[in-house]
Chains A and B, each alone.
Chain A
């Protein structure tokens, strides 16, 4: 069942400045959707329009069958967690959480129960009498979450809620947020520019660029079926490597190698009918092999140990190509590595449109 529908939603700040150009999206009930994109791509603007903090230039927002495009924020039944938490410094934690409930004239007993319940959910019960100034960033974050959960919203919005936390806390909060989402079952939209955050939390990722949706899909879809070079180059740590290639005599030709694609891909390229292509290869799809099986040989530039694996940067022509190798494999900078591709995991894009070639 659909909870939220956006149709051709657009926001124009001035004559030539667009926040969001056109967005159409369906969010299903209890779904956790992440808006992902580089800064300035319009993801936050879109969220603020859904919340009612920005006026809408064009398009409609439908929430549970009700057109909320022009409603004031308080009548939309949405709640939001802000990037800087935005908890009120002159109220203690209890009052912060109870604010919305008091305005709705919830009776005292139920109010108390609900505050206790959400405080328990985010584990801040002992802090209810404290003021925000006396708490750490992580605790403030939890208060903001509790406040947003207390109203039992129809839609739960989160605007880069983890970006102000330190790296370790951020990772643990991810898990906790996901747990809380599963517990509360609230339909959620989460905005972030951190692709690993998006991958680890989302049911569905909406990747945005320049105010438009580039691709919508599950984390697996956007990773393995990236819609264009932008997505492939944005998702993944490190992201995909690109090689400009030419389709010639049934082979993909690069100055350094010639590659015969598997039959399905061969057919797709033939159907596409264009010669100038871009080959995208994920770092883990590049394999180190014996010299006689190698597609090409490249010198190692840098080795970045990560513990569980190593990221090795090699030079191919003028490009730096990154691949993932098991730990302690003893690769040194300057060493020549014989490399090949996992031909079942190749991505091919049209050079002109940058779009993925359909049909494989």
Chain B
């Protein structure tokens, strides 16, 4: 039996659509999930269910008078659509209690209310029996708290950045030079050599952890971004050799030869002709190097101690009983954002083709 052609085509299209959607969702969903969580307050994270698709920007509070001296605070639970008690069972109208409550609302509700504001709200509830008000939720608070809570996170970002930039520098320069050699020169064992540079990528980092630590220690580079970038570069150079070799192969040799004839020496021909034409490819290499170095955890975990990189800090925040999901989400987004940003910036260079010429 043969399947009718229109049916077959429809099935093909559907399968493709499903596949593309699945891939898109597997990439986008975790990112979206983390982003939503990174904006939630502690209360929203642990007490509201189901979670909103888009986090609320405001929190609704209600003060109720219990007795002439005491008031209680309620919060609107979006999940169950009802008022629920929030914080201490009863609030006395004095400075000390107001201060405590202010801190509580900052930490658990992500709202900033000064003690005097709280006292005025209590006063209003006392006057009319109950009083409802909304407070603006601080969206950056989880990020701030992540960096305050996990000490050294800010330094870790700097370590990560310097590691990544050093990796780009080392791996693009060395990988690019080797790639040029592979593309332009004929020599014995070229194919074997080109394949064998990929072997370094086959070792699991854990398997060679001890030697790496010892060697870096002897070089005085243990626990330093420079040492870490050396390790990353070893892997990345192999990748960059392959990328740049194919780029340089795509640039006709006669362009360089023309430069030689029209007055340039070999170096001039490379820097004036080949290099500008290879920029898009080198940008791709740089992007790849940046992302792989920025996101790397295992090597960084082994090779750092007091100067961890940012992924290590995020990783460590996941451990332990005091893990707070919304803070970790903030850390993760802070970790992902530069990589995404870098990709978007460098994408312009990837697409940059002079006058529509394919290079």
Contacts and interface: CB of A to CB of B under 8 A. Distances in A.
Given A86-B252, A88-B255, A90-B276, A79 B261 contact: yes
Interface residues of B, number: 23
Nearest to A97: B262
A84 B255 CA distance: 9
A37 to B, nearest CB: 21
B120 interface: no
A72 interface: yes
Interface in B257-296: 257-265, 268, 272-273, 276-277
A88 B258 contact: yes
Contacts of A130: 355
A42 interface: no
A147 B262 CA distance: 9
B267 to A, nearest CB: 12
A89 B273 CA distance: 9
Contact of B273 (A84, A88, A103): A88
B354 A53 contact: no
B24 interface: no
A52 B354 contact: no
Interface string B324-354: 0000000000000000000000000000011
Contacts of A84: 252, 254
A54 B26 CA distance: 55
Interface string A200-219: 00000000000000000000
Contacts of A104: 263
Nearest to A151: B262
Contacts of B263: 74, 99-100, 103-104, 151
Contacts of A79: 261-262
Nearest to B356: A133
A82 interface: yes
A74 B264 contact: yes
A51 interface: yes
Contact of A89 (B254, B264, B354): B354
A80 interface: yes
B359 interface: yes
Contact of A82 (B257, B268, B273, B357): B257
A198 B268 CA distance: 35
Contacts of B265: 72, 74
A79 B260 CA distance: 10
A134 interface: yes
Interface in A96-132: 99-100, 103-104, 130-132
Contact of A132 (B252, B261, B268, B355): B355
Contacts of B355: 89, 130-134
A247 B259 CA distance: 59
Interface in A42-69: 51-53
A80 B262 CA distance: 8
Contact of B359 (A80, A82, A89, A151): A89
A323 interface: no
B264 to A, nearest CB: 6
Contact of A99 (B254, B259, B276, B357): B259
Nearest to A79: B261
A52 B356 contact: no
Contact of B277 (A90, A134, A147): A90
A89 B261 contact: no
Interface in A5-38: none
A317 B75 CA distance: 110
A74 B262 contact: yes
Contacts of B272: 99
A189 interface: no
A90 B357 CA distance: 9
B335 to A, nearest CB: 37
Contacts of A53: 257, 260-261
A73 interface: yes
A86 B258 contact: yes
A80 B257 CA distance: 10
A90 B359 CA distance: 10
Nearest to B275: A90
Contacts of B276: 90
A134 B356 contact: yes
Nearest to B257: A53
B261 A52 contact: yes
A101 B356 CA distance: 27
Residue from A52, A73, A80, A133 with most neighbouring chain B CB atoms (10 Å) = A73
Given A72-B265, A80-B261, A99-B259, A86 B354 contact: no
Nearest to A159: B254
A80 B256 CA distance: 13
A72 B260 contact: yes
A89 B262 contact: no
A17 to B, nearest CB: 13
A313 interface: no
Contacts of A145: none
B192 to A, nearest CB: 20
A78 interface: yes
B359 A78 contact: no
Contacts of B258: 80, 82, 86-88, 147
B238 to A, nearest CB: 29
From A88, A133, A147, residue with most partner B Cβ within 10 Å: A88
A60 B65 CA distance: 109
B277 A51 contact: no
A243 B276 CA distance: 60
A6 to B, nearest CB: 18
Contacts of B353: 133
A229 B292 CA distance: 66
A90 B268 CA distance: 15
Contacts of B255: 86, 88-89
Nearest to A84: B254
8 contacts: A73-B261, A74-B261, A74-B265, A90-B276, A104-B263, A131-B357, A147-B258, A147-B262
**Pairs A-B, 8 closest by C-beta atoms:** A131-B355, A133-B355, A133-B357, A100-B262, A103-B263, A89-B357, A86-B254, A86-B258
Given A74-B262, A82-B258, 10 more contacts: A53-B257, A74-B263, A74-B265, A80-B261, A83-B254, A86-B252, A89-B277, A130-B355, A147-B262, A151-B262
Interface of A: 51-53, 72-74, 78-80, 82-84, 86-90, 99-100, 103-104, 130-134, 147, 151
